[in-house]
Chain A
Amino acid sequence: MNWRTEIDEIRERRRLAEACGGAEAVARHHTAGKLTVRERISSLLDAGSFREVGKLAGRGTYDKAGTLLKFEPAAYVMGIGRIDGRPVAVGGEDYTIRAGTGFGSDRRKGGQGGFIEDLAYEYRIPLVNLVDGTGGTVNTARRKGYTVVPGYGQDGFERSVDLMEVVPVVSAVMGTTAGGPSARALLCHWSIMVRGTSQIFAAGPPVVERAFGQQITKEALGGAKVAADIAGTIDNVADSEQECLAQIRRFLSYLPTNVWELPPVAARDDPAERCEEELAAIVPRSARQPYDMRRLIELIADRGSVFEIQETFGRAVITQLARMNGHVVGIIGNNPRFGGIMDYKAARKQGHFVELCDMFNIPLIFFVDLPGFMVGAESEASAMLREGVRARFIGLQVSVPVFTVIVRKCYGMAGGGAIDRRGLNFKIAWPSAEWGSLPVEGGVKAAYKREIESAPDPQQRERELEEELRQLASPLRTAEAFAVEDLIDPRETRPYLCQFIEALQPRLKTQLGPRRKGGVRP
């Protein structure tokens, strides 16, 4: 006597679960350019590392003798696996089964709280949500016989919120999401969607049509152009599901497993002493002309180590994870192709990125070329000032060291936000650097209005005053006063930074654990 029959039944039921929503539903899903949740998980994880939990959950139909006639698997697949050898928790809706909606199980598997979120929390390992569910349905009322208050049942977003201060959480929008799944997608440290095949919104086209009589496609309502490029609701965009999964692996490669660990150190295969000749001439002599800040960063960071966050949103600022001599750093560079001017989108993006890096003990490097906040009626109406001050507030609450490299302009309220006032206040500058509370041009007219107007030749007087102030604005004078800690040859930037990033590592070990920040953000 043994348990062979029961063991065989377990195997058979696992086999049934592998079929997802059946051959026809899977074929439809593939035709739409999408992978099944099982294919996604196996592409995401290290080969063969997926250990599924709850594969037998679902709905069985039996005959009178208790023989299983039909089995519909739960529309959620989850478990643990490894990415670059490190453990992660992963889960996602199976869209091929009733569009990924819940099935009234005893315990939720995942998707909004549920087992996999509890596991990531209890084990302190990263969580990857592969979101492909359509959210609440009025059918619930039919099934239950009554309607429910939002946030009912087993799990609200309590666990999802708890996770945000202990482990990296990544969300990928892999289909069309509305309501709850949309909200779940946003409760993460970094999110991504697939251009063309995924959309995210609070409510989809039928609800919009009912509300306003407006007809709109789901792509126009919540495709990548709106959700990522314009709104910045989702951080990154991939051109295919495979690329999306590769980006998730890449993002996690910069992050520690949880807030009690430091980010992994990569192999040091790019010499810290590397000096690039190109840096000596990358900044044009005319302060009006733009240059390629991405190229500048690429020349300084470890070769091939740069990964951009929110590339298509708030493009006046560039936010990147990268490595310096193997150590992970967060890089913030102003983009002179947009004048480097901080608008409300750039401010929001910078604040979020600073918070992300601070949470996971990633030191920050600013490459500053920042003439100031965006001015004008439009900018004021979009709460530039509030967003800008909020970014500054977040910057003043960081616990990680911040390193400032002033490449060109560093002016005003916005410029001050690139400086480590809370810490060592360590800033180095290139010969092209200039700074102040506001630029000389324009500033002179404001400060010396009476003197200029009462001069015999007002224009002449304005030019004289500008020239006098411009001479004082030489960065060498500021370096003499040790009001900037160093003025360097741009080619030395990499060795300089690498040595200090190395030297601050011991400090990072002294501040592991969750960040508890007080106060109310402006």
Chain B
Amino acid sequence: MARIEVKSEITGTVWKVITRPGDKVASGDTLAIVESMKMEIPVITEDGGTVKEILVKEKDPVAEGQVVAVLEE
């Protein structure tokens, strides 16, 4: 099973976590929302799969390129 890392595209703070481990997601789905410069920036997965881990919680700071969630294909 392929492990897919979903990363934040931008530096900011986790505003909302949308999905939970075990959820099935499709390409284009929003897994979490990062707040950056007062904007809600979605963390979108390019691949479909099952959420294995969410590595952040609300209010956590995230850096650009940081892994936010891990999916399994």
Cα A340 to Cα B9 in complex, Å, equals: 12
- B37 and A371 within 8 A (CB): yes
Query: Could you say which residues of chain A place their CB within 8 Å of the CB of B9?
Result: 315, 338
Query: Could you say which residues of chain B place their CB within 8 Å of the CB of A315?
Result: 9
- A339 and B10 within 8 A (CB): yes
> When A315-B9, A338-B10 are in contact, do A378 and B64 touch as well, CB less than 8 Å?
yes
Some 25 contacts from A to B, beta carbons below 8 A apart, are: A287-B38, A288-B38, A288-B40, A289-B40, A290-B40, A290-B41, A290-B42, A315-B9, A337-B42, A337-B44, A338-B10, A339-B10, A339-B37, A340-B39, A341-B37, A341-B39, A371-B37, A371-B39, A372-B37, A375-B37, A376-B11, A378-B11, A378-B64, A439-B38, A442-B38
- Which range contains the number of A residues in contact with the other chain? 20 to 34
Give B20-41 interface residues, CB cut-off 8 Å to A: 35-41
State whether the Cβ of A415 lies closer than 8 Å to any Cβ in chain B.
Answer: no
- The distance from the CB of A450 to the nearest CB of chain B, in whole angstroms, is 24
State whether the Cβ of B63 lies closer than 8 Å to any Cβ in chain A.
Answer: yes
Dominant SS among interface residues on chain A: loop
> When A315-B9, A378-B63 are in contact, do A341 and B36 touch as well, CB less than 8 Å?
yes
Query: Could you say which residues of chain A place their CB within 8 Å of the CB of B40?
Result: 288-290
- The distance from the CB of B32 to the nearest CB of chain A, in whole angstroms, is 14
Cα A411 to Cα B65 in complex, Å, equals: 26
Q: Which residue of A lies closest to B15 (CB)?
A: A288
Query: Could you say which residues of chain A place their CB within 8 Å of the CB of B64?
Result: 378
State whether the Cβ of A270 lies closer than 8 Å to any Cβ in chain B.
Answer: no
Give the number of A-B contacts (CB < 8 Å): 41
Besides A290-B41, A340-B39, A341-B36, 15 other CB < 8 A contacts?
A287-B38, A288-B38, A288-B40, A290-B40, A290-B42, A315-B9, A337-B41, A339-B10, A339-B36, A339-B37, A339-B41, A341-B37, A372-B37, A374-B37, A376-B11
- The distance from the CB of A61 to the nearest CB of chain B, in whole angstroms, is 52
Query: Could you say which residues of chain B place their CB within 8 Å of the CB of A339?
Result: 10, 36-37, 39, 41
Best-surrounded residue of A287, A337, A340, A378 (most CB of chain B within 10 A): A337
Query: Could you say which residues of chain A place their CB within 8 Å of the CB of B63?
Result: 378
Give A364-381 interface residues, CB cut-off 8 Å to B: 371-372, 374-376, 378
Query: Could you say which residues of chain A place their CB within 8 Å of the CB of B41?
Result: 290, 337-339
Q: Which residue of A lies closest to B64 (CB)?
A: A378
State whether the Cβ of A441 lies closer than 8 Å to any Cβ in chain B.
Answer: yes
Cα A127 to Cα B39 in complex, Å, equals: 43
Cα A324 to Cα B48 in complex, Å, equals: 37
Query: Could you say which residues of chain A place their CB within 8 Å of the CB of B36?
Result: 339, 341
Interface positions of A (Cβ within 8 A of B): 287-290, 315, 336-341, 371-372, 374-376, 378, 439, 441-442
Cα A336 to Cα B38 in complex, Å, equals: 12
Query: Could you say which residues of chain B place their CB within 8 Å of the CB of A371?
Result: 37-39
Query: Could you say which residues of chain B place their CB within 8 Å of the CB of A374?
Result: 37
Query: Could you say which residues of chain B place their CB within 8 Å of the CB of A337?
Result: 41-42, 44
Quick one: CB contact mask for B38-58 with A, threshold 8 Å, 1 for yes? 111110100000000000000
> When A375-B37, A378-B64 are in contact, do A341 and B10 touch as well, CB less than 8 Å?
yes
- The distance from the CB of A241 to the nearest CB of chain B, in whole angstroms, is 23
Cα A375 to Cα B10 in complex, Å, equals: 11
Query: Could you say which residues of chain A place their CB within 8 Å of the CB of B42?
Result: 290, 337
Per CB-CB distance, the 10 closest pairs between chain A and chain B, nearest first, are A339-B39, A288-B40, A341-B37, A339-B41, A339-B37, A339-B36, A289-B40, A371-B37, A288-B39, A338-B9
- The distance from the CB of B31 to the nearest CB of chain A, in whole angstroms, is 14
- A290 and B37 within 8 A (CB): no
Query: Could you say which residues of chain A place their CB within 8 Å of the CB of B38?
Result: 287-288, 371, 439, 441-442
Query: Could you say which residues of chain A place their CB within 8 Å of the CB of B39?
Result: 288, 290, 336, 339-341, 371
Query: Could you say which residues of chain B place their CB within 8 Å of the CB of A289?
Result: 40
Cα A208 to Cα B39 in complex, Å, equals: 41
Cα A88 to Cα B35 in complex, Å, equals: 49
Query: Could you say which residues of chain A place their CB within 8 Å of the CB of B37?
Result: 339, 341, 371-372, 374-375
Cα A341 to Cα B9 in complex, Å, equals: 12
- The distance from the CB of B38 to the nearest CB of chain A, in whole angstroms, is 6
- The distance from the CB of A123 to the nearest CB of chain B, in whole angstroms, is 44
Cα A290 to Cα B38 in complex, Å, equals: 11
Cα A194 to Cα B49 in complex, Å, equals: 26
Cα A298 to Cα B64 in complex, Å, equals: 29
Cα A442 to Cα B39 in complex, Å, equals: 14
Q: Which residue of B lies closest to A372 (CB)?
A: B37
- The distance from the CB of A111 to the nearest CB of chain B, in whole angstroms, is 36
Cα A282 to Cα B36 in complex, Å, equals: 21
- The distance from the CB of A206 to the nearest CB of chain B, in whole angstroms, is 29
Cα A374 to Cα B9 in complex, Å, equals: 13
- The distance from the CB of A377 to the nearest CB of chain B, in whole angstroms, is 10
Cα A62 to Cα B70 in complex, Å, equals: 65
- The distance from the CB of A184 to the nearest CB of chain B, in whole angstroms, is 31
Cα A290 to Cα B42 in complex, Å, equals: 8
- The distance from the CB of A431 to the nearest CB of chain B, in whole angstroms, is 20
- The distance from the CB of B49 to the nearest CB of chain A, in whole angstroms, is 20
Query: Could you say which residues of chain B place their CB within 8 Å of the CB of A288?
Result: 35, 38-40
Query: Could you say which residues of chain B place their CB within 8 Å of the CB of A376?
Result: 11
- The distance from the CB of B8 to the nearest CB of chain A, in whole angstroms, is 11
Cα A340 to Cα B44 in complex, Å, equals: 16
Query: Could you say which residues of chain B place their CB within 8 Å of the CB of A287?
Result: 38
